Chains A and B, each alone.
Chain A
Amino acid sequence: MATLKVAFAAAMLSLGMSATASAQTHYGIGRPATAAEIAGWNIDINREGTNLPPGSGNVAHGREVFEAQCSSCHGNKGEGGIGDKLVGGQGTLASAKPIKTVGSYWPYATTLFDYIRRAMPLNAPQSLSNDDVYALSAYLLSLNGIVPDTATLDAKSLAAIKMPNRDGFVADPRPDVKDKRCMKDCKP
């Protein structure tokens, strides 16, 4: 039976179905991760907003947190400085000087929560409360005209936002350039 299982797994692999094949060899190394350990470490927020934590924050509180924690690098209104420009640029992506910001370029609002919580502020990441992160997300989205300045965001409302550049991305078509290996009388 075990042999059959291995043979079946090998057949699945050869059919290119490796992702669904069950494990062939177990070394018995390591220990099980507990649910509490996973919950403590897993801070991934996908585009559906799965795993967004409880809590909420509004634009007015976001402005206060931004001015205290973010404006020294990103400017008073998110206009940029040492840190990235966070506001504006909508309608510039196809121009000679595109301006890529949260408002003009980011496809998913949920990524704001994920990124601010894991990496910002640069000098003290993972120090903000979930309410503060919701509030900052609301403030940045309001500066970009995506939510009104009266908005309060939580897991459900953040995930429901459709960003202006939601459909701005395409798959990788490379190789997109097929130059020839010219050896003589080539175009310099």
Chain B
Amino acid sequence: MDQKRKDSASRSRRRFLTDSTAIIGGAVAAAAAPAGALADDKAPSNGNLPPNVPEWMKAPGADVGSQPYGTPSPFEKNVIRNIPKNQPQYTSSASRTPIQDLDGIITPNGLFYERHHGGIPEIDPAQHRLMIHGLVDKPLVLTVEDVRRFPSQSRIHFLECSGNPSYTAMKGKTASDLVGLVSCGEWTGVPLKILLQEAGIKPGAKWVIAEGADAAAMTRSIPIEKCLDDAMIVYSQNGERLRPAQGYPLRVFLPGFEGNMNIKWVRRLHITDEPVYSREETSKYTDLLPSGKARQFTFYMEAKSIITRPSGTQKIEKGFNEITGIAWSGHGKIAKVDVSVDGGKSWKAATLQEPVLTRALTRFRLPWTWDGSPVVIMSRATDETGYVQPSFEELTKPRGLNSFYHNNAIMRWQIAANGEVTNGNA
């Protein structure tokens, strides 16, 4: 390179650094503005709007590789996990996926909902082992690399906490406040059946007790039928290794079963003839009925849906609005999603976005023109077994209000004359 070109490159580099500092500063200021705030087209001071050429076209942007692991635009800084405020402790707590801010069916790994009972362990995979013992011919110890050597599968499935929401917590402001304890990703791992066959299952084996390597040593009993069907030991989500908050380096994945059973950081599989009746499957994750009896081993998540746009805290304009949301069922594929824009008096079938996958989130859409009068909108899922998502009234007839888990009732949004959307679950 001759001296002249070198100088020119150097000047360009200096100018870039100065300008990019200005851009970053601007980004921070803009990102602090209320979500959804639009630049004013009529303000003469804004030189980035037509007919002017925006400043980010007048200098090169950030270098390739300036973020070795990419992060979202600073303008999206409000799209984050929904973390409850003022909890007495956060070791055993939950955070929610901002479902109203997401499109499609895949949840970004950093926005997966969390429910931990003893915090998030930081596990060195080289020092992690998976032990398989109990009613097996050959008790095994596997390294993480061992697990990765077995034949693998990748499948897209949702994961949902069974208390999403409880029957007495239907007052959330946003879609995330209501049912944000659900996420969906592509999971890669080894079918659990293959690992159990490697150890050799003995006659009389009916349950597999899975234990996590967290400070709660979380323990749940899984019926052997599920373990030999579609259960997996997973090591990757959405293409990359599991995030620590999702069980790095290994977790159990049970498509369609309540989240708590999908043991994160799994270190031990104990094959037995009986459930262990752990604290989580007796005093928690059991569904109390009005009679005082409680349902136990309520594994499946039943069909559910929610409109994510328009949804609580959003504001719409008169005229065309697309109604969209997500539906899912632990019993298989979503067959239909119906939407009502008149408080449940009449319903229209929404369009389902392909792919419609078994035990995965399904995106639905319905075009709608709003005339500006106050309305209540809601969605209702039907799965491939013919099961119809029930109204809260129908659901609580047999279950009462103290069942806590497995509330899959229809969720309603109220739209006021000014376009503001609020919780419509009276």
Interface residues of B, dominant DSSP: loop
Question: In the complex, A20 Cα to B268 Cα: how many Å?
Answer: 21
Q: Say yes or no: A37-B141 contact (C-beta < 8 A), given A23-B197, A44-B209, A122-B91.
A: yes
* Cβ B139 vs Cβ A44 within 8 A: no
A94 interface hit (Cβ, 8 Å): yes
Per-residue contact bits, chain A 44-57, to B (CB 8 Å; 1 contact, 0 not) = 11110000000000
Q: Is the CB of B346 within 8 A of A186?
A: yes
Asked if B336 is an interface residue, CB under 8 A from chain A, the answer is yes
For B277, the closest partner residue in chain A by CB is A47
- Is there contact, CB below 8 Å, between A180 and B398? no
Which chain B residues lie closer than 8 Å to A115 at the CB level? 278-279
CB of A177 within 8 A of CB of B397, answer yes
Verify B294–A169 contact, CB threshold 8 A: yes
Quick one: which of B215, B290, B294, B388 contacts A180, CB cutoff 8 A? B388
Are B295 and A31 in contact, CB atoms less than 8 angstroms apart? no
| Minimal beta-carbon separation of A103 from chain B (angstroms) | 11
C-alpha spacing A163/B343, complex, angstroms? 47
A176 B398 Cβ-Cβ under 8 A: yes
Contact B283 A23 (CB under 8 A): no
Is A130 on the interface with B (CB-CB < 8 A)?
no
Q: How does the 8 Å CB contact mask read for A147-179 relative to B, with 1 for contact and 0 for none?
A: 000000000000000000000111111111111
Q: Which residues of B contact A126 (CB under 8 A)?
A: 217
User: Is B60 part of the contact surface with A, judged by Cβ < 8 Å?
Assistant: no
Q: A25: CB under 8 A from chain B?
A: yes
- Is B140 part of the binding interface, using a Cβ–Cβ cutoff of 8 Å? yes
Contact of B390 among A22, A32, A177, A185 (CB under 8 A): A177
- Whether the Cβ atoms of B387 and A175 lie closer than 8 Å is yes
Take A33-B133, A125-B216 as given contacts and tell me if A181 and B141 are in contact as well, using a CB distance cutoff of 8 Å: no
Q: Is A134 an interface residue (CB 8 A)?
A: no
B-chain residues with CB within 8 Å of residue A108 when the two chains form the complex? 277, 282
Q: How far is the CA of A115 from the CA of B348 in the complex (A)?
A: 49
Q: Which residue of A lies closest to B117 (CB)?
A: A119
A168 and B293: CB pair below 8 A? yes
**Chain B residues near A45 (CB, 8 Å)?**
276
Cβ-defined contact, B397 with A98, below 8 A:
no
A94-B292 in contact (CB<8A): yes
B155 interface hit (Cβ, 8 Å): no
Distance between B295 CB and nearest chain A CB, rounded to angstroms: 5
What string of 1s and 0s marks CB contacts (under 8 Å) between B383-419 and chain A? 0000111110011011101100010000000000000
Tell me how far the C-beta of A47 lies from the nearest C-beta in chain B, rounded to whole angstroms: 5
Q: Which residues of B contact A179 (CB under 8 A)?
A: 388-391, 394
B296 on interface, CB distance cutoff 8 Å? yes
* Most chain B CB atoms below 10 A, which of A19, A31, A114, A185: A19
Binds A, one of B14-22, B199-207, B234-242: B199-207
Q: Please determine whether A169 and B296 come into contact, CB atoms closer than 8 angstroms.
A: yes
C-alpha spacing A45/B316, complex, angstroms: 55
| Chain B residues in 8 Å Cβ range of A180 | 388
Give B121-158 interface residues, CB cut-off 8 Å to A.
131-133, 137-143, 146, 149-150
Contact partners of A31 in chain B: CB under 8 A: 140-141
A42 near B228 (CB under 8 angstroms)? no
| Residues 201-256 of B contacting A (Cβ, < 8 Å) | 201, 203-206, 209, 211, 215-217, 219, 224-225, 228
Nearest B residue to A92 via CB reads B292
Is B308 at the interface (CB under 8 A from chain A)? Answer: no
Closest to A175 in B: B387
Interface of A is mostly: loop
Task: State in angstroms the CA–CA spacing of A44 and B281 once bound together.
Answer: 13
- Among the 9-residue stretches B42-50, B51-59, B298-306, the one with 4 or more Cβ atoms under 8 Å from chain A is B298-306
B295 / chain A contacts, CB cutoff of 8 Å: 169-174
Query: Which one, A23, A27, A33, A106, contacts B137 given CB within 8 A?
Result: A23
B228 touches which one: A18, A105, A111 (CB < 8 A)? A18
A-B contact pairs, 30 of them (CB 8 A): A18-B228, A20-B203, A20-B204, A22-B200, A22-B201, A23-B199, A26-B197, A30-B142, A33-B140, A41-B268, A44-B219, A44-B276, A94-B292, A106-B283, A107-B282, A111-B277, A111-B279, A111-B283, A122-B89, A169-B293, A170-B294, A172-B295, A173-B295, A174-B298, A174-B302, A176-B399, A179-B388, A179-B389, A181-B338, A186-B345
Given pairs A18-B224, A33-B141, A44-B211, 14 additional interface contacts (CB within 8 A): A21-B201, A23-B196, A24-B197, A25-B194, A44-B276, A82-B89, A106-B282, A123-B91, A172-B299, A174-B295, A176-B399, A177-B397, A178-B387, A186-B344
Which residues does B use to contact A, with CB under 8 Å? Answer: 88-89, 91-92, 117-118, 131-133, 137-143, 146, 149-150, 194, 196-201, 203-206, 209, 211, 215-217, 219, 224-225, 228, 267-268, 270, 272, 274-279, 282-283, 286, 288-300, 302, 336, 338, 340, 342-348, 380, 382, 387-391, 394-395, 397-399, 401-402, 406
The residues of A with any CB-CB pair to B shorter than 8 Å are 18-27, 29-33, 37-38, 41-47, 82, 93-94, 96, 98, 100, 102, 105-108, 110-111, 114-115, 118-119, 122-123, 125-126, 168-188
Q: Which 8 A-B pairs have the closest CB atoms?
A: A94-B292, A93-B292, A33-B139, A23-B197, A118-B217, A179-B390, A188-B344, A115-B279
